[in-house]
Amino acid sequence: MIEGFFALIFGLLSAVWGIVMLASTALLLGLFIPMALLWVWILARILQRAGYSGWWALIGLTPLLPLAVWVFAFSSWPAAQRTVVLMPPERG
């Protein structure tokens, strides 16, 4: 009889724990996906301003991000090669 009571309690706790885990997983996914999209958008904007393709931002979703930061940090930036020459106004 006591074993049946413990089995009932264990079954109820398992069901409650399953519901809690399902709800927390849905909440984490509901927060993770928008934050990941925001992260990729920000990285794409930075990379475009540096002169690279925005598609490189997808590396931000992988564990290769530190490697990509090193590559971009020590390579020549296409945007840095563009020069703007400002001519002073002619007087005369």
Confidence (pLDDT) at 92: 61
Collect all residues with Cβ–Cβ distance below 8 Å to 46 and sequence separation of at least 6: none
pTM of the model: 0.53
Angstrom distance (rounded) from CA 46 to CA 36: 15
The pLDDT tens digits of the residues spanning 17-27 come to 888 888 888 88
Residue 12 identity: L
**Residue segments in the chain with a per-residue pLDDT below the cut of 50:** none
CA pair distance 16, 18, nearest whole angstrom = 5
Two tokens, residue 65: 């991000």
